[in-house]
Amino acid sequence: MSFRVTIEPLGETIDVEVGQTILDAALRAGIWLPYACNHGLCGTCKVNILEGEISHNHASAFALMDVERDENMTLACCATVDSDVVVEAEVDEEPDAEGYVIEDFLGIVARVEQLTPTIKGVWIDVDGDGVAFQAGQYINLSIGDMKHPRAFSIASPPSSANLIELNIRLVDGGEGTAYLHNQLSVGDQLSFAAPLGRFFVRKSALEPIIFLAGGSGLSSPKSMILDLLEAGDSREITLLYGARNQDELYYFDLFSGLARDHANFTYLVSLSDAADDQSWEGARGLIHDLATTHFENGFAGHKASLCGPPPMIDACITTLMRGRLFEEHIFMESFLTAADALEPARRSALFKKF
């Protein structure tokens, strides 16, 4: 059994199991709340309870004072919920969050296309008003009778509310993606929940944007770039895309065309595994190196959005920071796989997002 917990000022709502702490549920849902000791002694994770009933459990009397209990404060690392709850935490607001409510949808597969040997494009037709989302968000797709839904970023722009495009990479040993690659066909019904995630363009910030993407991580940047260009956004936009080889390179013509038509859009590609490929005339190597070469004066004064496999993200963060662009200007999707949630990587409290 679970309750709904809304986290202000984000306005995000998450499910919290009976007996699960608010902090645990938030972190698993990809929402960062301040915390340190994680067992009720330090008080870093103090939040206000605006509505609903909670239990303080073993919060230390020195870390959560009586006056604070009287004022409806609690420690998120100890508190469990006894009803639906609204909490207010010390997190930054997102002025650009449009706050679409998550809904369940039923769609029909309209088209399936092999984009590369490992990536399939799937287009889902949705009736009525379609799906309202912000470019960069993702959906939770239910697959067959599998217990947990799988997360996929939306590759189409929000203007195409009735036709949702997904780019699905075949994951080694992945049950869900194997099904989608081998059994899904046009006319099948698919149900999904959308929109999810906090990875979207900070439109109110006016800095030029650098997109760094690898593999099927192109989905969100594609949606975001199409959205920006459709709206006539005039800031400098650079997409650096990394693929293994020419076979794995997709939407090359689409982005090359956009770069021709829009003076403020630059498209750069680097292939990491094309040493012997004489027909490739572009850059070779990893995209964080390409980024360093291209932005010879460093990255300060930009916003960066990252999407791709973890080693690529990791290398790009270091490259951006060495080039003087720091955490508050770097954005990335943080949907955790079930495995991440079970065993969080060893990391320090230095960063909130990385």
CB of 337 to another protein, least distance (A): 21
Query: Of 60 and 245, which has the nearer Cβ to another protein?
Result: 60
The gap from C-alpha 114 to its chain's centroid, in whole angstroms, comes to: 24
344 binds another protein (CB under 8 A): no
Residue 159, Cβ density class (10 Å: 0-12 exposed, 13-18 middle, ≥19 buried)? exposed
DSSP 218-259: GHHHHHHHHHHHHTT--S-EEEEEEESSGGG--SHHHHHHHH
Q: In this structure, which amino acid lies at residue 158? A: P
CB of 89 to another protein, least distance (A): 7
Which listed range, 145-153, 193-201, 242-250, 344-352, lies at the site for another protein (CB under 8 A)?
344-352
Query: Of 267 and 295, which has the nearer Cβ to another protein?
Result: 295
Query: Of 78 and 243, which has the nearer Cβ to another protein?
Result: 78
Site for another protein in 62-91 (CB under 8 A): 62-63, 65-68, 88-91
How big, in percent rounded to 5, are the helix, strand and coil portions of the chain? 20, 30, 50
Q: How far apart are CA 281 and CA 255, in angstroms?
A: 17
DSSP 52-77: S-EE-TT--TTTS-HHHHHTTEEETT
Count interface residues toward another protein (CB under 8 A).
Answer: 39
9 binds another protein (CB under 8 A): yes
Among 58, 301, 326, 344, binds another protein (CB under 8 A): 326
Q: How would you classify the pairing of strands 54-55 and 46-51? A: unpaired
Among 1, 70, 129, 346, binds another protein (CB under 8 A): 346
Which listed range, 107-115, 143-151, 304-312, 314-322, lies at the site for another protein (CB under 8 A)?
314-322
301 binds another protein (CB under 8 A): no
Q: How far apart are CA 179 and CA 107, in angstroms?
A: 17
User: How many C-beta atoms surround the C-beta of residue 330 within 10 A?
Assistant: 23
Query: Of 67 and 263, which has the nearer Cβ to another protein?
Result: 67
Site for another protein in 189-248 (CB under 8 A): none
Q: Where are the alpha helices (DSSP H) in the chain?
A: 22-28, 66-70, 175-182, 219-230, 252-261, 287-294, 310-322, 338-342
Site for another protein in 19-48 (CB under 8 A): 36-37, 41-44, 48
Query: Of 218 and 320, which has the nearer Cβ to another protein?
Result: 320
Among 251, 317, 331, 332, binds another protein (CB under 8 A): 317
Residue 77, Cβ density class (10 Å: 0-12 exposed, 13-18 middle, ≥19 buried)? buried
Query: Of 91 and 143, which has the nearer Cβ to another protein?
Result: 91
Query: Of 9 and 282, which has the nearer Cβ to another protein?
Result: 9
Per-residue contact string for residues 86-115; x = within reach of another protein by CB under 8 A: --xxxxxx-----x-x--------------
Half-sphere exposure of residue 106, counting CA atoms within 13 Å on the CB side?
Answer: 2
Residue 180 three-state SS: helix
- The residues that touch another protein, with contacts defined as CB under 8 A, are 8-9, 11, 36-37, 41-44, 48, 60-63, 65-68, 88-93, 99, 101, 317-318, 321-322, 324, 326, 346-351, 354
